[in-house]
Amino acid sequence: MNKKHVFNAGPCILPQAALDASIEAIKDFKGTGVSLLCISHRTKEWDATMDECRALWKELLHIPDDYEVIFLGGGASLEFLCVAMNFLEKKAAYLDTGVWASKALKEAKAFGEAYAIASSKDKNYTYIPKGYEIPTDLDYFHITTNNTIYGTEIKTDIDCPVPLIADMSSDILSRPVDVSKYAMIYGGAQKNAGPAGVAFAIIRKDALGKVTRHLPTMIDYRTHIDKLSMFNTPPVFPIFVMNETLKWLKGIGGVEAMHKINLRKAQTLYDEIDRNSLFVGTAVPEDRSIMNICFVMAPGREDLQDEFLAFSKERGMVGLKGHRSVGGFRASVYNACTQEDVDALVACMQEFEKLHK
């Protein structure tokens, strides 16, 4: 069977070391004689896994002591609601950079005044808005750092005069982050941190408890901080795989080393898109994501789209079809996607070009 080169936007490709460890744990979790899928979350062996996973998050992202890391069910989409309930008292602003940012804003509008401070919708979200001012009377300002559908990314930690909250679902652990600039960072694990089924949240503890509304127990972030993410049964299997993924990341040199690898992968593919006469990138160059690389057929060559998808599939490329709302192609080069995978895609694009010159 031909080797597969996986560019899925999510769930992501995972490191082989994490997959292998997970397979063994399903057979026998830490020598208990019990499968990971059947283990009680109230055992010392599971406590150790949870402790290690939290510690790895803190180590890899250099998270300050006044923050806590929690693991939650429901994905980032549930956090759109929880963020607003926990932080929005009167007014919040959102940066509208795509579908997920607009969905987060929609949820917030149910709990107070929430609005888009700036938007790139006018050009189909192909750039990151700039030049906007952040009012100082906000309860928080919310950003989505990487936009998977459109291939744009906020690559630096912005200075913000109010509590800053970020959905980093699809670029967490891909680059260094100054966590101290954020009141909260959250996201689904299924892009860089692990499989689908668990979300993470990194929260500055003193940012909580500011709203006057009643918070249902499961919605209150303090519940999960106080109970170390085990107020109810946690998603055991996804957290285990997450832990193994973080161990792999630490083993290759951590987030700083990963960032250098990711920059090289992205540059390799963007260089080919810009060189190749059959393809055109869709995002404004200065805002191009290093995680989700979006491109289309060049003008006048649109009829080749389906042919290229079939051609690339025959050569082992998986997940290149663009999101249904924008079409074209999308290569998601998350952490576990290798330079070899990217080089294979580039070779495929070059071969296709030769056939159609």
φ/ψ bin of 253: left (φ > 0), alpha (ψ from -120 to 50), beta (otherwise): left
Cα 227 to Cα 242: distance, rounded to the nearest angstrom:
19
pLDDT at 49: 98
Say how far apart CA 183 and CA 23 lie, in whole Å. Answer: 36
What architecture does CATH give domain 254-355?
Alpha-Beta Complex (3.90)
Which residue, among 155, 170, 99, has the nearest Cα to 333 in the 3D structure?
A: 170
Per-domain residue ranges of the chain: 16-251, 254-355
* CATH code at 16-251: 3.40.640.10
- The alpha carbon torsion through 198, 289, 262, 179 (nearest 10 deg) reads -60
For residue 1, the model assigns a pLDDT of 47
For residues 172 and 192, the answer to whether their CB atoms sit within 8 Å is yes
Say how far apart CA 323 and CA 65 lie, in whole Å.
39
Q: How far is the C-alpha of 291 from the C-alpha of 322, rounded, in Å? A: 14
The answer, as to whether pTM is greater than 0.95, is yes
The pairing of strands 140-144 and 113-119 is unpaired
- Mark residue 106 as left, alpha or beta (left: phi above 0; alpha: psi -120 to 50; beta: remaining): alpha
Q: What residues form DSSP beta bridges with 280?
A: 296
3-state secondary structure the chain: CCCCEECCCCCCCCCHHHHHHHHHHHHCCCCCCCCHHHCCCCCHHHHHHHHHHHHHHHHHCCCCCCEEEEEECCHHHHHHHHHHHHHCCCEEEEEECCHHHHHHHHHHCCCCEEEEEEECHHHCCCCCCCCCCCCCCCCEEEEECEECCCCEECCCCCCCCCCEEEECCCCCCCCCCCHHHCCEEEEECCCCCCCCCCEEEEEEHHHCCCCCCCCCCCCCHHHHHHCCCCCCCCCHHHHHHHHHHHHHHHHCCHHHHHHHHHHHHHHHHHHHHHHCCCEEECCCHHHECCCEEEEEECCCCHHHHHHHHHHHHHCCEECCECCCCCCCEEEECCCCCCHHHHHHHHHHHHHHHHHCC
| Nearest Cα residue to 257 out of 174, 140, 146, 169 | 174
Q: Kindly give the confidence (pLDDT) of every residue in the chain, 357 residues in length, as a single tens digit, with 9 standing for 90 and above.
A: 478 999 999 999 999 999 999 999 999 999 999 999 999 999 999 999 999 999 999 999 999 999 999 999 999 999 999 999 999 999 999 999 999 999 999 999 999 999 999 999 999 999 999 999 999 999 999 999 999 999 999 999 999 999 999 999 999 999 999 999 999 999 999 999 999 999 999 999 999 999 999 999 999 999 999 999 999 999 999 999 999 999 999 999 999 999 999 999 999 999 999 999 999 999 999 999 999 999 999 999 999 999 999 999 999 999 999 998 888 999 999 999 999 999 999 999 999 999 998
Going by DSSP bridges, is the β-strand pair 184-188/199-204 parallel, antiparallel, or unpaired?
A: antiparallel
114/47 Cα distance (integer angstroms)? 39
Strands 292-297 and 329-332: antiparallel
Q: Which residues are catalytic?
A: 100, 167, 191
Asked whether 144 and 191 are in contact (CB, 8 A), the reply is: no
Q: What is the pLDDT of residues 267-322, one digit of tens each?
A: 999 999 999 999 999 999 999 999 999 999 999 999 999 999 999 999 999 999 99
